[in-house]
Amino acid sequence: MPEITYAEAIRSAMSEEMRRDERVFLFGEDIGRYGGAFGVSFGMLDEFGPERIKETPLSEAAIVGAAAGAAMVGMRPIAEIMFMDFILLAMEQLVNQAAKVRFMFGGKASVPMVIRMPAGSGTGAAAQHSQSLESLLIHIPGIKVVNPSTPYDAKGLLLSSIRDPNPVCFIEHKLLYKTKGEVPDEEYIIPLGVADVKREGGDITVVANNIMVSRTLKVAEKLGVEGIEVEVIDPRTLLPLDVDTIVKSVRKTGRLLVIHEACKTGGWAGEVIASIASSPAFDYLDAPMRRLAGKDIPIPYNRNLEWAAIPQEDDIEAEIRAIISTKY
């Protein structure tokens, strides 16, 4: 299978879908000649022209609102929000409008749209350009929240997201754009709402998203050498969350650690832990369930501080070891 980057995987999903379905168009800031702040749509303007690679003024609220409006009347917009932090300018349109239209109107409308947005720190972009806000989105009924960690997942999940009849928030990670992975040439889709066991293991279940998946896998490799077998689950879709896969795993391992870059307090790890706490897996727990997450601070600019703000491999390793050594 050819190796392509995460950014290329996203671009190829968009391009293929735009070739297949003329209702699909890309909508956002600097997505044309510039190719988007991270070059994800680079080159698409040449193929699809300015009407389908529709560049907008700086108006995030109207971008999301207009995407919803277009979706209500038969289009399938892919809106790009340049940094996830800016979805905060469009929360009204996302939460009060896109997410609720169908329900408020008694099931008669639908809003098939995707909002792509890069999250995460690690690029020195400081407090207003580095947030991981997926935990806000999972609290909103009516939308789906997707969050791929590999090129393969990115492509398959984006195809599903574009074809989904609901508003889908598709969260990318800046540090992943240049990472490579195998992606088949043939079309494939990954259904939304299905977690992926990225590594099997019997000693502890780690649920992680985004950039934390590969970090955890590295640590898992290392610990594997010592005979500590870490099962790594990437939920891929955070809403709806595939609780069953996690339950199954925890029943096997008896231990759960949830890792995310997003701030700890109020983060989605709480959702996972609460789901397990009231699930049949609870009885199988051999240790307290724990969270390892971003500190409860805005992301600092300085490189060392930025590094310290979110879980790194060392932190992950230490946390896993601590849990493994607990017995209760």
80 binds ligand TPP (CB under 6 A): no
DSSP state letters, 196-227: EEEE--SSEEEEE-THHHHHHHHHHHHHHHTT
312 binds another protein (CB under 8 A): no
235 binds a copy of itself (CB under 8 A): no
Handedness of CA 141, 121, 181, 178 (dihedral sign): positive
The single-letter code of the amino acid at 167 is: P
315 binds another protein (CB under 8 A): no
Active site residue 173: no
Among 9-17, 106-114, 131-139, 279-287, the segment contacting another protein (CB under 8 A): 106-114
Element (H, E) at 24: strand 24-28
91 binds a copy of itself (CB under 8 A): yes
Residue 123's contacts (CB-CB under 8 Å, 6 or more residues apart) are 129, 130, 174, 175
Q: Scanning residues 117 to 136, which ones bind a copy of itself (CB under 8 A)?
A: 126-128, 133, 135-136
Closest by Cα among 206, 121, 192, 202 to 163: 192
127 binds ligand TPP (CB under 6 A): no
Q: Scanning residues 13 to 52, which ones bind ligand TPP (CB under 6 A)?
A: 29
Q: Longest Cα pair distance anywhere in the chain, in angstroms? A: 62
Q: What is the pattern of x (binds ligand TPP, CB under 6 A) and - over residues 55-74?
A: ---x-x--------------
| The one among 46, 92, 244, 314 contacting another protein by CB under 8 A | 92
| The one among 27, 48, 86, 177 contacting ligand TPP by CB under 6 A | 86
What is the rounded CA–CA span in Å between residue 214 and residue 220?
10
Could you give the residue numbers annotated as active site?
129
Task: List residues near ligand TPP by CB under 6 A.
Answer: 29, 58, 60, 82, 86, 89
